Amino acid sequence: MTTQTKPVERGFGGWVGFLVDSLVAIPGAYAHAFRRRPVRTVVLTVLVIFGLIYPVLNKEFFQPYNRLSNAFPLPFPEDAVVTFMMIFAIMAIGLNIVAGFAGLLDLGYVAFYAFGAYTAAFLASPHFGSVSIVLFSETIPGFPGIHLPFWMLVPIAMAVAAAFGALLGAPTLRLRGDYLAIVTLGFGEIVPVIFKNLASVTFDLGPIHLVNANLTGGNLGINPIDPPIFFGIRFGSSSGIAAVYLGMILLAGAIIIARNLERSRMGRAWMAIREDEIAAEMMGVNPVRTKLLAFALGASFAGVAGVFQASYQGLTTSDFFTFATSILVLIMIILGGIGNIWGVIVGAITLVFVDKTFLPYLGQRMAAINSDLPNPSQFNFLIFGVLLVIMMRFRPEGFIPSRQRAAELRHAPPGQAIGSAATMGDAAVAAENLADTIAASQEEEVLAEAAAVEEETAAADGTSETPPRGPEGQP
C-alpha cells in the first residue's frame, strides 16, 4: 500500500481559491524576506520590476506617444547604456571577488576584460580570413575566418581569463597591499599595449611562419565581430532590447555563481585570508590555492563581460581597456559597498547611468542655458576622483555595505596602520581581531574555527589572561 498523497482535485472554484491563497501569501513571504535581507530584496525587486517593464519604458517605444516626456525630457538610459550597465555589473561582481572577498586590490582588472573581448574577436570574426572554421554557428559555411557561437565563446573566455588571472596571481602571492596593487596595475597596462602592438608580427619557428602577420588589428582593433545569435535571433547592438535581456541573463548567472562562491568553503577562506593571512594559514587555509582561485575566478567574470562587450558592439580595440576603466570598476564597488554583491551591482548600475546618461543629459541642459559652460561628461573623472576621496574619508564601506567589511574598514587590523605598535607576530591579537570581525557574519563554522584558534594561541602564550581587545586596546 502506497503512502503517496493523493493529488488534490480542484474544481474551477478550487483553483480560484488556490490562486487567491497564493497571492495572499506573497506579501507575507515578501515581508519576511524584506525583514531578513532588506538590501537583497529591494535590489532584486527593482531589478525584476525593471526587467519586466523595461520594454514599456523603452525610449523608442515610449517617446512618440508621450507628450509629457517631450516637454520635460528626463535622463532615460538608452538600450546601449542599459546593456553596459549589465556588462559593468558583471565586472563589478568579478572585481568584488578579488578585491572585496579576498581583499587583493587589483588595479589592472581591465586586462581580463580585454582577454574576454579579444577571445570573441579572434574566435568569432572574419579576422583570420585565411582559415575557415565554422562550428555550430549560424554563419554560412565557407565564410572566411573562425566563427564559434556565443554560448561556446563564454566558457572559452572564462577559461582564458582565469588562466591569465592565475598567471598574474602566481608571482604576486608573496606581495601584499600596495605592491600587489602596483603589479596588477602594470599587468593591466602591459596587456592593452601588447594587443595594440601585435599588428605586424614576423615570426619563424619550426612549422609556424608568420610574415608581418596582423594578429590583433593594432590601433583599429578587430571588427566586425559576430553578434550573439540564439535560434536565429541576433542579440547585437542593432537589436536593442534583445541584447539588454541577454545581458540580464548573463548578470543573473553571475549573481548566482558569485553568491554560491561567497557562501562556499572557498568564499569563507577568501574572507579569512583577507582578514588575517597568518591566522588563516594557521587554521589550515592554503593561501596559495585560495589567492590563485580568487584571481582566476574573479578574472573569469571579466572574461564573460569582455565577450559580451565585443559580441554586442561588434568591435573591439585596445583603446577600450585603459587604467581609467579599471578604476571605474573599482569606484563602482567602493561606492556600492565593497564585499557586498548587491551593493556592487547597485554601484555599477548607478555609475554607468551617471557616466553615460545623466552627465550628457546635464551637459545638454547646461548648454541650453549657456553654451560656454563646460560639458560635465568631459570631466566625469573629476567627479569620480572627488567621489573616491570623499568615500575613503567618510564612508569607506560604501553605501550598501557588507557588515563584515564595514567593521574591518573602520578599525585597521594590527600592524597595518601607522601608529599601531602591534607587530605581525602578535598572533593572539590577530586572532582576537579576526574573531571580532567575523562575529559580524553568520557563518557558525568560521566562528567556531576562529574561536578555536583564539584558544590555541592563548594557550600557546602560556597565559590565561584575556588578550587585549581589538586595535584600540593596544598599549
Binding residues (CB under 8 A) for another protein: these are 105, 107, 171-172, 174-179, 181-183, 185-187, 189-190, 193-194, 196-197, 323-324, 327, 330, 334, 374, 378-379, 381-382, 384-389, 392-393, 396, 408-409, 412-413, 416-421
Give min distance, CB of 380 to another protein, in A: 8
Give min distance, CB of 99 to another protein, in A: 9
Give min distance, CB of 416 to another protein, in A: 5
User: Which residue number, 67 or 174, has a Cβ lying nearer to another protein?
Assistant: 174
User: Which residue number, 160 or 422, has a Cβ lying nearer to another protein?
Assistant: 422
**Beta pairing, strands 132-134 & 145-147:** parallel
CB 334 within 8 A of CB 388: yes
Q: Which amino acid is residue 448, in one-letter code?
A: A
Q: How far are the Cα atoms of 88, 111, 125, 141 from residue 137, in angstroms, in the given order?
A: 27, 27, 11, 9
Give min distance, CB of 218 to another protein, in A: 10
Q: How many CB atoms lie within 10 A of CB 406?
A: 20
Q: Give 445-467 as a DSSP string.
A: HHHHHHHHHHHHHHHHTT--SPP
d(CA 404, CA 340): 9
Give min distance, CB of 188 to another protein, in A: 9
Where does residue 52 rank: exposed (0-12), middle (13-18), buried (19+ CB within 10 A)?
exposed
Give min distance, CB of 382 to another protein, in A: 3
Q: Which cell numbers in the block locate residue 387? A: 567621489
User: Which residue number, 128 or 323, has a Cβ lying nearer to another protein?
Assistant: 323
Per DSSP, the three-state class of 292 is: helix
User: Which residue number, 105 or 266, has a Cβ lying nearer to another protein?
Assistant: 105
Backbone angles phi, psi at 405, to 5 degrees: -65, -40
User: Which residue number, 125 or 325, has a Cβ lying nearer to another protein?
Assistant: 325
User: Which residue number, 5 or 371, has a Cβ lying nearer to another protein?
Assistant: 371
d(CA 83, CA 91): 13
Q: Which amino acid is residue 199, in one-letter code?
A: A
User: Which residue number, 185 or 244, has a Cβ lying nearer to another protein?
Assistant: 185
Give min distance, CB of 15 to another protein, in A: 57
**Terminal-to-terminal C-alpha distance of the chain:** 74
Give min distance, CB of 75 to another protein, in A: 22
CB 107 within 8 A of CB 188: yes
Give min distance, CB of 330 to another protein, in A: 7
User: Which residue number, 308 or 384, has a Cβ lying nearer to another protein?
Assistant: 384
In this structure, the dihedral spanned by the alpha carbons of residues 35, 41, 46 and 47, taken in order and rounded to 10 degrees, is: 180
Beta-carbon-side half-sphere exposure of residue 393 (alpha carbons within 13 Å)? 6
Per DSSP, the three-state class of 401 is: coil
User: Which residue number, 249 or 417, has a Cβ lying nearer to another protein?
Assistant: 417
